[in-house]
A = this chain, B = another copy of it.
Amino acid sequence: MSATNRQIRLAARPVGEVDPEDWEHCAGPVDEPGPGRFAGRTRAISLDPAMRGWLDDRPSYLPPVGIGEVMRAGSVIEVTASDHPDFQPGDHVVGTFGVQEYVVSDGRGAMKIDTSLAPPSTYLGALGMPGMTAYFGLLDVGALKDGETVVVSGAAGAVGTIAGQIAKAKGCRVVGIAGGPEKCAMLTDELGFDAAIDYRADDVRKALRRHAPDGIDVYFDNVGGDILDAALTRLAMHARVVVCGAISQYNNDTPVKGPSNYLSLLVRRARMEGFVVFDYADRYAQAARDIAAWIADGRIKVKEHIVQGSVDDFPETLQMLFRGENVGKLVLELV
């Protein structure tokens, strides 16, 4: 092949917000698959808030992306050539293939998908990591029970839209917290949330008192910061706070704002628990079947925000997450 492989590599560790100069736009060779491997062309790249954490050189649930390495990302590729028995040219495959146009893989961590059932983007969203995160965070970590009151922050995002709709499917009262009137209207009018709180316009604490008058049984937190603190003041007895993420804090160049109201955990006999979705890998298949069934019967509506472009658009697209510009799963579709 004479094509070049456009790649986005990490050039420098960002401090606070990620800067355009923290990325290197490279053109590498397009590799042949070689024995036991397959090659493919990237079709869709996932953009996730967790990516910000992967750029910091500190111990976490995954090693940091190294300086000079291709940026880690989930993506869907289309196989172009293969010496691997399980993958054939034309197959669509999801995996952690990185921000690059061409990929060679030995198949580890890769999974063939059926694009006749759902488009590639959905395998990066509702049927991918965000869907799994919502499912296990809510049902396992949150130990959700039918009829409880659930509050989801970052409710208009990839995980939040699914978490809220799973809670609705389980017969819960669901309140979403999101930024701006459009997102809030989408949550209630389109996704069936019982109420939505616009954290930019509303006093979140007062709004929670109004919309969760008997207290919050499960608080699914994607944002941290002041919204977490507000939710802590409204916990029901034996509440569960699911620590899924803290997007409000990821770009800090100062220490993370700890939840000042954490002593509510004592008063309300409540717990706050973190998790990493990878721990549930042996149950992904069941979760995907459940979510697919809810999509099929209309109880889950899939919200995706698809940006069409090239890998060079990755840095700018990633920033949309932190500016709250996406609704649902943000995907960069390569055209």
A interface residue numbers (CB < 8 A to B): 59-61, 224, 229, 243-246, 249, 255-276, 279
The answer to whether A265 touches B273 (Cβ under 8 A) is yes
Which residue of chain B has the shortest Cβ distance to A241 in the bound complex?
B272
Residues on B with beta carbons closer than 8 Å to the beta carbon of A270: 273-274
Instruction: Select which of B229, B256, B262, B264 is within 8 A of A263 by beta carbon.
Output: B256
Contact A276 B267 (CB under 8 A): yes
Select which of B229, B266, B267, B273 is within 8 A of A59 by beta carbon. Answer: B267
What are 28 A-B interface contacts by the 8 Å CB criterion? Answer: A60-B267, A61-B266, A224-B263, A229-B258, A243-B262, A243-B263, A246-B263, A256-B260, A256-B261, A257-B258, A257-B260, A258-B258, A258-B259, A258-B261, A258-B262, A259-B259, A262-B262, A262-B272, A263-B274, A264-B274, A266-B274, A266-B276, A267-B276, A269-B276, A270-B273, A270-B274, A271-B271, A271-B272
Looking at the assembled complex, report how far the CB atom of A219 sits from the nearest CB atom of chain B, in whole angstroms. 13
Question: Given the complex, which residues of B lie within 8 Å of A266, measured CB to CB?
Answer: 61, 243-245, 274-276
* Alpha-carbon distance A273/B143, docked complex (angstroms): 15
Chain A residues touching B, majority SS = loop
CB distance from A19 to the nearest CB of B (A): 23
Please give the distance in Å from A280's CB to the nearest CB on chain B. 11
- C-alpha gap A229/B269 in the complex (Å): 21
Q: Of B61, B255, B260, B273, which is within 8 A of A267 by CB? A: B61
Alpha-carbon separation in the docked complex, A274 to B245 (Å):
21
What residues of B have a CB within 8 angstroms of the CB of A276 in the complex? 266-267, 269
Determine the distance from Cα of A262 to Cα of B246 in the docked complex, in whole angstroms: 10
Q: Contact check, A274 vs B274: say whether CB atoms are below 8 A apart.
A: no
Nearest CB on B from A63, distance (A): 12
Q: Is the CB of A274 within 8 A of B279?
A: no
Closest B residue to A262 by CB, please name it. B258
**Which of A59, A269, A279 has the most C-beta atoms of chain B within 10 angstroms of its own C-beta?**
A269
Known: A258-B257, A258-B258. A269 touches B275 (CB 8 A): yes
Question: A264 contacts which chain B residues (CB < 8 A)?
Answer: 274
Task: Identify the closest chain B residue to A255 (Cβ).
Answer: B260
